[in-house]
Amino acid sequence: MSSLRALLAKAATMAIALVCGVLTTRLILTEAGVEHYALYALLTALPSLLAFTDLGAGAVIVNGVATSDDPQHDEPLVAQLTSVGRILVGFATVLMLLNTLMLVTGGWRVALGDAGGLAGSALAAWACVTIFCIGVPIGIWVRILLGLRRNHVVILLQGLISPLTLLGVLALTSVPEGEAHAVLAAASYAASCIVSMVGLALTWRITAPLIPRAAARVLRPRRHPGVRVMDIGWPMLAQLLSFPIAVSTQRYVLAQSAGTDVVAEYGVVAQVFLALNGLVLAAGVALWPMYSRKRHLGELRRGPAGMAALFAGGVAVATAIVWLLADPIFGFITDGSVEVSGWTVLAFGAMIAAIAGMYPMGMFIMDKHGIRFQVVPTLAMAASSLALSIVLAPGLGAAGPPLGTAIAIAVCQIVPVAVYIARHRARLIAPREPVAG
């Protein structure tokens, strides 16, 4: 039921996000140009490169909340939340120091490729990451609501990001003489931060006094030393690193091997397919607490094969529709200023279909043993994907990196995880004890 609610919520918000995303893209392309859109695409991809803000320890919160009979007054859960909060604060501090170092040394201009030559691009990157750092500790609300099986609430709140981003871009493009074009991506970061503040306030109220008790302990480690969370965190970190390495680096690989036109083509197609991936993510992640809870109660009776086929098949159908309507869809989005190849559409479809098929399988084995098993397959997938992206990008252009990732997921993740589930089926459907922090 929670997965269905998440799916319906994502379908509704995705429609809004697609409309707002198209309008935002057209606005940037017509008012600021292809070069500034390429910069916008690169900067808005940075959060997905930094998806490991809690170093994987957030998995402890999800499992802890999902298996707790009284999350509001669960003392071990307070201790877990305190420990994860310290990791988030520490991550934000280190990232801010690195961000400032990148600014003063010129590292941002190098990382952004041709787009780094635009006036104000380095300062814009610094501003975006600064806003991101502010939002890192606030993001704990997502893990808590996911554990409460209220992922649909997370999705509905995050659905506000696209409209707020559009309003921000509209305001910035109205500045005379294009003085604010370099910082257009900051609108996306500000929108995310605002939504996180609202989400935290809502979660605070739902779970009171859980969050204020943990927050009061975060900066007092001697009096409240916290608990062990990285026994789950380190293996989970491997999974969190895999997506940024495999997918989020693709724009930067293209930025180093191709021009801004190819980066813009990739960004336009990614806008459609990563929205589709968001739908997959919403439904897939909702399976995690559902499987954990059912396993905890001894009610898990069915494997993930059927769900995996349903997820992948749905993406395949969506890809076929986008491919058939590619010319009018992307012609409208870009106002004819960016040429999109049909091969790029199919490559993206193959990548998202592979991700979709993998989600139910991965969520099915998200107990302590399963998380640890997935370390090697996910890291192998990430390394293979990056290598294939670098090899395929010069020859295939925007289609190369997503095609490489599709191959890597199929070989390095889907096959070994399917074998693991078959070998450990008896354990996976048996009652499990809650994962200890």
pLDDT for the residue 437:
40
CA distance linking residue 271 with residue 318, whole number of Å:
14
Alpha helix (H) residue ranges in 208-259: 210-218, 230-243, 250-257
Least confident of 66-80, 223-237, 361-375: 223-237
Residues 6+ apart with CB under 8 A from 23: 166
pLDDT at residue number 434:
47
Instruction: Specify the higher pLDDT residue, 416 or 35.
Output: 416
* Residue (of 121, 89, 122) closest to 105 by Cα position: 122
Q: What is the mean pLDDT of the chain?
A: 84
Distance CA 123, CA 109 (A): 9
Output 100 or 55, whichever has higher pLDDT: 100
> Is the pLDDT reported for residue 85 higher than 50?
yes
pLDDT in tens, 107-150: 998 888 877 778 888 999 999 999 999 999 998 998 899 888 88
Q: What's the pTM value of the predicted model, to 2 decimals?
A: 0.70
Q: Give yes or no for residue 159 having a pLDDT over 60.
A: yes
pLDDT higher than threshold 70 for residue 285 = yes
User: Taking Cα atoms as reference points, which of 378, 148, 362 lies closest to residue 240?
Assistant: 378
Statement: residue 204 has pLDDT above 80: yes
- Read off the pLDDT of each residue in 6-24 and give the average, rounded to a whole number: 78
pLDDT at 411: 95
